[in-house]
Structure 1
Amino acid sequence: MAIISACVSTSCYTPPPSGGEGRLCKYTGQSVRALPIRIITVGKKRSAGVQLLVEEYTNKLKNYCSLHDLPIRSNPRNARDEKAQVDDEDKAVMNLIRSDDWVVLLDERGRDIGSEQMAELIGDAGNTGASRLSFCIGGPYGHGQQIRKRANISIRLSSMVLNHQIALLVLVEQLYRLYAFSSRNTRPKSLSPLLLEPSLDICEQKTKDN
């Protein structure tokens, strides 16, 4: 079982039982279960260069966790208007979501997080009872209402609007970064020391979003 270092908020979760398999969290001393990860991306056919990079990071991540890349073609039913297109994409995404998934929406209106908070988010998700962690990257017109309501948290990787291919590359690179450095029990030089502000509380965020 893969274990990731993360700052776990104890206000919303029941701490995992002591003596569990894996390395302890370097911030709280709690074991944190790393969930299988799925990345659902809505968009046009990727460029060959982007696909090669995604496959490279996916292969690297095999040493740390299970990651599945699930692309969905934008406008799958060739709808003629924007709303119908978003609705069709929404249905396609929801068909890939299970009731026991922890769903993270990548959205320009989501909460800003850094690499440290991303590690906290993934660690927290492993302590919720969910069996999978699903990241959702929307199409050209954004996410539909069903997946917005279903999502457990909404985040953004940048204050700038990112093309879905760029967002995917940033996400897989960050996932590899936090898993690789967590396994070495070190922090990359590019990351600042752990922020003094409270850790990302995904339960609280879900309440606010509702």
Structure 2
Amino acid sequence: MKITLLVIGKTDDAYLIEGLDKYLKRLKHYIKFELQVLPDLKKTKNLTEQEQKIKEAALFFKFIQPQDDIILLDDKGSELSSTRFADLLNKKMIANVGHLIFLVGGPYGFDASIYQRANQKLSLSKLTFSHQMVRLFFVEQVYRAFTILKGEPYHHE
């Protein structure tokens, strides 16, 4: 299985880039993982929220294939503990999912077409985080999930 975190816009802050690099390197030992960064939308000042979500959806759909399993990182999604998230990834591997894609939406969330295409929604927290921080938190949780599945001492309960 390959896992992709699909996001719009680059990460700007050096400390977040450093953290992402750290966990992306660690993940190479467990699974094929890619952070795919789509370009920011241009000239959004004159767009309504809905128009912006539609344009972002078009960017996402250029990357998504019909057979891909899509999970939205969405504040209305299910909240899982780290061990339950590890179980979710394990079930996806057992089900022989070829490509699991996690999407982080833009500032206004996802267009209805993305919600319709998604296989499920997952929330990282009831708290609100910047889209750039979510990237680091999510990649760390994927790493944590694989250490849980391998019985390694990174995670403590």
| Cα distance between partner residues in 2 of 1:113 and 1:143 | 21
Q: What residue in structure 2 maps to residue 78 of structure 1?
A: 43
Does the 8 Å contact 1:41/1:138 carry over to 2?
yes
CA separation of 1:161 and 1:43: change in aligned 2, threshold 3 A: farther
> CA offset at residue 73 of structure 1?
3.0
Map 1:104-143 → 2, pairs under 5 A: 104-143=71-110
1:75-101 per-position Cα deviation (integer Å, ceiling 9, x unaligned):
x24232222111111110111111111
- 1:89 corresponds in structure 2 to 56
- Percent of aligned pairs with the same residue? 26
TM-score, normalization: structure 1? 0.68
Q: Counterpart amino acid of 1:54? A: L
Q: State the 1:46 CA deviation.
A: 2.5
5+ residue gaps, structure 2, are none
Query: 2: CA distance between counterparts of 1:187 and 1:146?
Result: 38
Would the alpha carbon gap of residues 177 and 103 (structure 1) be closer, same or farther in structure 2, given more than 3 Å must change? same
Decide which structure has the larger Cα Rg and report it. Answer: 1
Query: Counterpart amino acid of 1:98?
Result: Q
The structure with the greater share of residues assigned to helix is 2
How many residue pairs match? The answer is 155
CA distance in 1, matches of 2:88, 2:99: 13
Question: Aligned-pair distance for 1:55?
Answer: 1.4
The letter for the 2-side match of 1:46 is D
Is the contact made by 2:147 and 2:154 (CA closer than 8 Å) also made in structure 1?
Answer: no
Rounded Cα–Cα distance in structure 2 between residues aligned with 1:83 and 1:126? 35
Distance 2:152 2:70 in 1: 27
Deviates more, 1:62-71 or 1:123-132: 123-132
Conservation of the 8 A alpha-carbon contact between 1:77 and 1:88: no
Normalised by the length of structure 2, the TM-score is 0.90
Question: Matches of 1:47 and 1:101 in 2, distance apart?
Answer: 30
Mapping for residues 48-197 of structure 1, pairs under 5 Å: 48-74=14-40, 76-79=41-44, 80-81=46-47, 82-184=49-151, 188-189=155-156, 191=157
Kindly indicate whether the alpha-carbon contact (under 8 Å) linking 1:43 and 1:164 is maintained by their aligned counterparts in 2: no
* 2:16 maps to amino acid: V
* CA RMSD of superposed structures (Å): 1.8
Report the Cα distance in structure 2 between the residues aligned to 1:102 and 1:177, rounded to whole angstroms: 21
The answer (yes or no) to whether the contact 2:6–2:35 under 8 Å persists in 1 is yes
Structure 1 residue ranges (4+ consecutive) displaced by more than 4 angstroms after TM superposition: none
C-alpha contact 2:71 2:102 (8 A) present in aligned 1: yes
Deviation at residue 38 of structure 1 after TM alignment: 0.3
- Between Structure 1 and Structure 2, the one with more strand by share is 2
Taking CA–CA contacts closer than 8 Å with sequence separation of 6 or more, which of the two structures ends up with the larger relative contact order? Answer: 2
